[in-house]
Amino acid sequence: MAAAAPPPGPTPAATALPDPTPIGHPLFTRIRLATASDVPHIHKLIHQLANFEHLAHHCSATEASLSSTLFTSPPFQSFTVFILELSQTPFPPQLHTHSALFSPITQTITLDLPIDDPEIETFKSNDKDCGFDVVVGGFALFFPNYSTFLGKPGFYVEDLFVRECYRRKGFGKMLLSAVAAQAVKMGYGRVEWTVLDWNVKAIKFYEEMGAKVLQDWRICRLTDEALQAYANPAAI
């Protein structure tokens, strides 16, 4: 009598295919040179910065005063503004640049959760070359200064600001890194800025980026009536 056939083996478990859906929420960023058409957004960002620093009572800038002073010279020769833009979709290839010295910087980050921007309509980008969902998230305003000790020019960062809903995502570092990279590209000796002594988070952030906080220096300033008193040097 023939032996009975062995029972069939266990059915192999189905192999799970990888989920093609990306994990997290990608956010596309771009840092570009600001133009005069960005003045309304720059103006709003400056006032948000003043409120954050509890200095709104000192902020008298208007769109008109910014328009007449910010874009009178080529970028990096005088006042220069980097704009941080964010989008849910990739930025299109840059067809043109505003300066041979700078090309827009694009990066992609992945977030665990999408960002809820309550001012998305207010800060929609004015750049007609990009998509409808591009929003302005922050800015850096800087200009050349000079170190006699180094015998080299540098950049002084007047303002570095990221809107509240976009903070603690690395965007401030992107902006400051862009300024520092431009200084290196131009052979400059240093980048400087000030920080309020109560802003311990900012101080820690700058130190982590490699900056030295100079404890033994103080800002001296002439403004308003104290400055106007020197209008006629012969009478002093």
Cβ(87)–Cβ(135) below 8 Å: yes
Q: Which residue has the tokens 């890194």?
A: 177
Q: Any idea what DSSP says for residue 18? A: P
**Best CA proximity match to 30, nearest among 137, 155, 184, 115:** 137
What separation, in Å, do the N-terminal and C-terminal C-alpha atoms of the chain show?
128
Give me 185's structure tokens: 């590209």
In the chain, the DSSP E strands lie at 25-33, 80-87, 105-111, 135-147, 152-162, 191-193
User: Which sequence positions are flagged as catalytic?
Assistant: 206
> Order of strands, edge to edge, in the sheet holding 25-33?
105-111, 25-33, 80-87, 135-147, 152-162, 191-193
Q: Which residue has the tokens 């006699």?
A: 148
Q: How far is CA 45 from the centre of its chain?
A: 11
Q: Any idea what DSSP says for residue 164? A: G
